[in-house]
Amino acid sequence: MADATISGIPVATGIAIGKAYFVNRNHMAHLPRQTVAASLMPQEIARLKDAFASVEAELTTIREQVPEELKTHGSLIDTHLMMLKDPKLVNTAEGYITSLGLNAAWALEKSVADQEAAFESISDTYIRERMQDVRVVADRVQTKLMGVETDLTTISGRAIIMAHDLTPADTVELQVDKIMAFATVRGGKTSHTGIMARSLAIPALVGVDKLEDAVRDGDLVIIDGLAGKIIVNPTEAELEDYNERAAKFETYSRKIKRQCHLPAETFDGSRVQVFSNIELVEEVTSALDNGGEGVGLYRTEYAYLNRIELPTEEELTEKYIDLASIMYPRKVVFRTLDLGSDKFIAAFGELNEANPAMGLRAIRFCLKNPQLFKTQLRAILRASAYGNVSMMFPMISGVKEVRQAKAWLAQARAELRREGVKYDPDMPVGIMIELPAAVLIAEFLAHEVDFFSIGTNDLIQYSIGVDRTNRHVSYLYQPLHPATLRAIKLVVDAAHQAGIEVSLCGEVASDPFCIPILLGMGIDSISMTPQAIPGIKRIIRQINMHDCRLLLKDVLECRTVSRINNLVMDNIFKHFPEEVSFFSSLLENDELPS
């Protein structure tokens, strides 16, 4: 038996076998709390100061290595350095060593707690949040004091990086060519770690709760980025099994990747367009390499996160033009700023809302901050002169909202025209269908816009009323709930009735089990993470539209999720036994037929 098998959320596929190295463990649970004799105090103070000094040296080196394109990382590290050098932090800790006889780690912890107390009373949420930066630096010092860190620059072989969380400083420091996989305790599907791992094409798991208890530095681990498992110190038999599986996956990936530039055309000749969801302009390489036919969803939030000032129109325009012109003549769909809920920007502080997912987010936030909105609209319009650009508004709940958003767009257009700046006057404008309200009035909304894009992640969340990051109810997050399916069908039908195209972005699009149903509904295009494209295209090329329609008909008559899941799984198992062993599905795994 292996020492342990733990699970997490797979954010980048693949299998890796190697030695575990911890980058930053959460030591707080095991913080040594001891008192030291007066005679040892000077030594303890020296230890404290040494730890501060060596972290300072470390951060300074990292700061120098930050590449130009990661400027935001750089200024974040500058702030961390200033906090580290803050006399307050170290002097207070030193005071606790002399006055209370605490050991260095405990004294520092108390000093951090004092800062926390001082920050707590501040009403400015942005400033209050800076406390997290103090935590990040203090953690680095704690790690030094406890003498358990791994020097990443000295990793000799290839390593599997494990961390409580990966901060921007960590990622700059990592020598990417030596990393085989990532696993972190924190983080969700869209965290920094996932984006990094996908762009490096290495497997990664996030949200691995028991990681720090189950894995020690140097343990041999298998990271299964397909099933979302980590096997710690596997047996000979498990190793052999996984070596074989890894090799098979490698062969399979290579095979499907070779065919990824073929069109996604079903056996009986129906074409579906397959696009990429991307977040960073740098991801276009992987979008194109994996056979993406364009960018179906460019999440524009990233340029606003992890920074203090808002990006300027020039800065955005430059980035957007880059993206549009690299992809040309392929399409790029810009989604306007989707902030709020779990993503905030420093310039606005955190919105203190009881129900952020139902609060001031996405288009609502933009309509409340028209200056910020218009800056982005102008930048997208300016980029439209250089490519095949479309634009869509997220979280639309009614006709009036679309009209308001379009009014700002019209104003941005008029300004540019007056200024003599070029833009594409025919740029298509669409909306995301993510709210049940939008589904129910899809036929009205269809007359206001040029296309729909169904955002299934949010649509499922709002339809079933379930926060899927809430572990008590996440089991209710069911992509193939009869309500979700009916909602998607309604939207597709309304779009086609009005003669506009409808696409779908969301994890459902990259789940092979869901693909036949989406095709059966007549979806025009799907958009997904670049890495999923080759596999999904291959599935599409091997199915018949006729069969998809028949399956859909049966599925729409089912009254329970489990009945639907069974039908869909049977279908995929029958046609794609090979794929099934490599893909993880959103559907309930415990109902897999044996």
Contacts with another protein, residue ranges (CB under 8 A): 75, 78-79, 82-83, 85-89, 115, 118-119, 122-124, 126-127, 130, 133-134, 308-309, 346-347
CB of 69 to another protein, least distance (A): 20
Catalytic site residue from 73, 80, 164, 192: 192
How many Å apart are CA 567 and CA 558, to the nearest integer? Answer: 9
How many Å apart are CA 184 and CA 178, to the nearest integer? Answer: 17
192 is an active site residue: yes
CB of 48 to another protein, least distance (A): 17
Catalytic site residue from 260, 366, 505, 548: 505
CB of 70 to another protein, least distance (A): 17
CB of 304 to another protein, least distance (A): 14
Residue of 180, 227, 224, 230 lying closest to 208 (CA atoms): 230
Smaller CB separation from another protein, 87 or 147:
87
101: tokens are 């006889």
Sequence-distant (≥ 6) Cβ neighbours of residue 247 within 8 angstroms: none
505 is an active site residue: yes
CB of 366 to another protein, least distance (A): 20
φ, ψ of residue 457 to 5 degrees: the values are: -60, -50
Smaller CB separation from another protein, 30 or 88:
88
Which residue type, as a one-letter code, is found at position 494?
A: A
φ, ψ of residue 433 to 5 degrees: the values are: -105, 105
Smaller CB separation from another protein, 138 or 494:
138
CB 21 within 8 A of CB 161: yes
CB of 82 to another protein, least distance (A): 4
Smaller CB separation from another protein, 79 or 469:
79
Smaller CB separation from another protein, 94 or 458:
94
376: tokens are 């982005």
Instruction: State whether the Cα torsion 517-521-524-527 is positive or negative.
Output: negative
Residue 342 DSSP SS3 = coil
CB 491 within 8 A of CB 452: yes
CB 351 within 8 A of CB 359: yes
How many Å apart are CA 396 and CA 411, to the nearest integer? Answer: 20
CB 512 within 8 A of CB 572: yes
Beta bridge partners of 222: 17, 231
Smaller CB separation from another protein, 76 or 195:
76
CA 537 to chain centre: 22
Active site residues: 192, 505
